[in-house]
Structure 1
Amino acid sequence: MNVQKGLKGIVAAETLIGHVDGENGELIYRGYEIRELTKSYSFEEVAYLLWYGYLPDEGQLQGLKDELKRNRELPEYLIKIIDLLPPSMDMMSVIRTVISAEGGNSEYEGIATISHAIRLTSLVPTIIAYRKSQIEGRLFEHPRDDLDHVSNYLYMLTGEVPLEAHVEALESYMLLTLEHGMNASTFSARVTVSTESDIVSGVTSAIGTMKGPLHGGAPSGVIDLLNEIALAGDAEKVIREKIMRGEKLMGFGHRVYKTRDPRAIALKTKLLELVGEDEWLDLAMKVEEVAIRVLEELKPGRSLYTNVEFYAAAIMKALEMEPELFTPTFTASRMVGWTAHILEQAENNTIFRPQSKYIGVLK
């Protein structure tokens, strides 16, 4: 019996949702290349695409926006649960616990629906923002119906209507992290619902998987790099010394993409439109240029380019978002992909049941 540890390279399902081509550096959502989507479409439009299989017209888009807004407010029982959680509990554990409690609602019984997916996606930003305000001991800013999904998330976090440049930057990042094929958290979601369990159980499994540092780890190392360069005032000196010491240059290279990360390219394209509006985004652009040149000189042929975490870190820094919110924000966007995969799994279900090879002794 051959063993493929971690199931790497094993095809376990067929999907119409997304495709990751690591060799050619492509990421596709429902037939659309990711760079095309980030140029022209909003979070709500691409979420609609992943859930329904096609881009919405004006009326369909407005209908989705309205439904997202109707589901933003936390019911009283979820607020009470958050209030009772210990202050030391990390944000990912809070999200997992609260979403699990939401599953006690009888409306989730039976076959998963897009309405379920919309509600769960709506709730996560509010859970994050409410918990943040609670820990900081300040008044919670309730959702605003005049703001779209991403701008409302930023508003709830800070209590201020965000700058348009910041909304565009975060929206681009969230679009790029909605879906990424059969990754660990998506697989765990599909495995859970393959037992005919409910959508909330599937999402809870995915959140628990995302919490692990090998999957949803925050790009804090990139923040440290940008801070160090900003303090030193000499990007090339810092980068060259790190490489010469054999240190990993955080934010460069990717284990799936063997060429340029398409998400990084798409995010850079969007950020280029915003350069000059934020000093940290400007710094990230300059650091990338210097780092790639020095890497090509000192590590020829390795094709080490910026990955999506590099620009995600630059965005989070520009937004003054604490590192503790990086993975939760990633989770808030990936809810769309997880629920799309859960819906697809339920449509044509086969339970996942891989084999294991016994390597113990016989008594």
Structure 2
Amino acid sequence: MDSGLENIVAAETVLSDVDGQAGRLIIRGWPVETLAADKPYAAVLGLLWDGFFPELGDDAEIQAQLGRARAAAFALVGTFPMESGVVEALRTGWSLLNDSEAFDDAIAFPAAAAVFTAAAVRHGQGLPLIAPDPALSQAQDLLRMMRGTPASDAEARALDAYLATVSDHGLNASTFAARVIASTRAGLGSAVLGGISALKGPLHGGAPGPVLDMVDDIGTPDAAERWIDAALARGERLMGFGHRVYRVRDPRADALKAAVSKLPGTAGRIAFAEHIETVVLQRLARKYPNRRLETNVEFYTAVLLEALDIPREAFTAIFATGRVLGWIAHASEQIGEKRIVRPKSVYRGPVPEYA
């Protein structure tokens, strides 16, 4: 038995390959570093959904379809509560969308992610909601609706890089949940809701906020060694380091570090983050000489999202805005298998006596 399923092959996929030993991530034939540098959101959607939806057009048409779907999603804002937080608002809003396997219904989910996330953030801040602009790209419009000011080209490119980087990552917990649900033919919407319900767990999608909490607690470069040594002495986990799959540095960390470094005014924050990273890696290597604990995607995710003025309570929903592309692609791929997922279990309970 393999209780974590690490060594169980549960699917064949054309979508992504995670090589934890070599530190490589390939998404639909593209190294993640290249994807993050070159592909905006609409292009990543087209790449991941290619072959599953014949209605897919080129990147320009996909961007236009996303814009129209954002406008339609905004009509639903106000029909569901947003008091319980950004992730809960996104999950509740998504539950109102059509649950089918059709392309028009599928594209509503990534489009609505931008609308519902931005609306929930502004609602929580007591600010008026901002309607989408269908003419803008997904990243431009998400930032504009959330912050109330237009996004610069550099900011939109940085957010695109993040959304591309987290768009797919093998059979992680949320993607596997989405595939299991899709195998029952429950609908793509049900698969997406299963995905976000798994993602909201703190062991899966909740690390970027605590990374910033750590950085804020450290405060200054001079305090880094003392703070980190004390945290390790207390047995605390240092957020942003170590990964279930990667035994070397997470390739997404460098992709995001490159993206945030292109944003004006971030040099000081990056330098501080680099100093913390260096100290943490030194201390982890000393404390756990037989384990490889390297920087993971969440460390520079935190720096990037902070630089874009995205509030910490929205981090998981922004993650979902990228990962929903992978959830829908995997769900569509699983539907093509025409076979329900049904693993076995080993019974360890009492056995009655039979005559």
Q: Do the aligned residues in 2 keep the contact of 1:51 with 1:114 (CA within 8 Å)?
A: no
Quickly say closer, same or farther: Cα 1:41–1:183, change in 2 above 3 A: same
Displacement after TM superposition at 1:235 (Å): 2.9
Q: More displaced, 295-304 or 323-332?
A: 295-304
Displacement after TM superposition at 1:231 (Å): 4.5
Q: Do the aligned residues in 1 keep the contact of 2:114 with 2:321 (CA within 8 Å)?
A: yes
Displacement after TM superposition at 1:294 (Å): 4.6
Q: More displaced, 251-260 or 282-291?
A: 282-291
Alignment equivalent of 2:38, drawn from 30, 37, 40: 40
Displacement after TM superposition at 1:159 (Å): 0.3
What secondary structure, in the 3-state scheme, does the structure 1 residue paired with 2:112 have? helix
Q: Report what 2:350 is aligned to.
A: 361
Alignment equivalent of 2:70, drawn from 69, 72, 76: 72
Cα distance in 1 for residues equivalent to 2:42 and 2:59: 7
Displacement after TM superposition at 1:320 (Å): 3.1
Cα distance in 1 for residues equivalent to 2:195 and 2:154: 31
Alignment equivalent of 1:5, drawn from 3, 6, 21: 3
Displacement after TM superposition at 1:246 (Å): 4.2
Quickly say closer, same or farther: Cα 1:52–1:75, change in 2 above 3 A: closer
- Is residue 195 of structure 2 the alignment partner of residue 206 of structure 1? yes
Q: Do the aligned residues in 2 keep the contact of 1:219 with 1:309 (CA within 8 Å)?
A: yes
Q: Report what 1:260 is aligned to.
A: 249
Cα distance in 2 for residues equivalent to 1:170 and 1:186: 22
Alignment equivalent of 1:285, drawn from 262, 266, 274: 274
Q: Give runs of aligned pairs for residues 83-162 of structure 1, distance below 5 A.
A: 85=81, 87=83, 89-103=84-98, 108-109=99-100, 112-162=101-151
Cα distance in 2 for residues equivalent to 1:269 and 1:53: 31
Alignment equivalent of 1:222, drawn from 191, 211, 215: 211
Cα distance in 2 for residues equivalent to 1:113 and 1:336: 15
Displacement after TM superposition at 1:282 (Å): 3.7
Q: Do the aligned residues in 2 keep the contact of 1:275 with 1:282 (CA within 8 Å)?
A: no
Displacement after TM superposition at 1:206 (Å): 1.2
Displacement after TM superposition at 1:309 (Å): 0.5
Q: More displaced, 315-324 or 22-31?
A: 315-324
In the superposition, the TM-score normalised over structure 2's length comes to 0.89
Structure 1 residues 109-146: Cα deviation after superposition (integer angstroms, max 9, x where no partner): 4xx24433322111111011112222333211111234
Q: More displaced, 137-146 or 45-54?
A: 45-54
Q: Give runs of aligned pairs for residues 11-22 of structure 1, distance below 5 A.
A: 11-22=9-20
Q: Report what 1:352 is aligned to.
A: 341
Stretches of structure 1 that go unaligned for 5 or more consecutive residues are: none
Structure 1 residues 25-75: Cα deviation after superposition (integer angstroms, max 9, x where no partner): 111111111112122222221221111169xxxx81111111111110245
Q: Give runs of aligned pairs for residues 166-181 of structure 1, distance below 5 A.
A: 166-181=155-170
Counterpart of 2:71, as a letter, is E
Q: More displaced, 126-135 or 296-305?
A: 296-305
Displacement after TM superposition at 1:193 (Å): 1.5
Quickly say closer, same or farther: Cα 1:71–1:10, change in 2 above 3 A: same
Displacement after TM superposition at 1:302 (Å): 3.6
Quickly say closer, same or farther: Cα 1:33–1:60, change in 2 above 3 A: same
Q: Report what 1:23 is aligned to.
A: 21
Displacement after TM superposition at 1:201 (Å): 1.2
Q: Do the aligned residues in 2 keep the contact of 1:78 with 1:102 (CA within 8 Å)?
A: no
Q: More displaced, 315-324 or 24-33?
A: 315-324
Q: More displaced, 173-182 or 311-320?
A: 311-320
Quickly say closer, same or farther: Cα 1:53–1:267, change in 2 above 3 A: farther
Q: More displaced, 322-331 or 296-305?
A: 296-305
Counterpart of 1:116, as a letter, is D
Displacement after TM superposition at 1:205 (Å): 1.3
Quickly say closer, same or farther: Cα 1:143–1:279, change in 2 above 3 A: farther
- Is residue 237 of structure 2 the alignment partner of residue 248 of structure 1? yes
What secondary structure, in the 3-state scheme, does the structure 1 residue paired with 2:95 have? helix
Alignment equivalent of 2:324, drawn from 335, 346, 351: 335
Runs of 4+ in 1 over 6 A off after TM superposition: none
- Is residue 314 of structure 2 the alignment partner of residue 325 of structure 1? yes
Quickly say closer, same or farther: Cα 1:74–1:145, change in 2 above 3 A: closer
Cα distance in 1 for residues equivalent to 2:337 and 2:2: 25
Q: Do the aligned residues in 2 keep the contact of 1:280 with 1:317 (CA within 8 Å)?
A: no
Cα distance in 2 for residues equivalent to 1:139 and 1:192: 36
Cα distance in 2 for residues equivalent to 1:49 and 1:192: 23
Aligned Cα RMSD in Å?
2.4
Q: More displaced, 305-314 or 129-138?
A: 129-138
Alignment equivalent of 1:50, drawn from 32, 48, 51: 48
Displacement after TM superposition at 1:258 (Å): 0.4
Cα distance in 1 for residues equivalent to 2:140 and 2:325: 17
Counterpart of 1:50, as a letter, is L
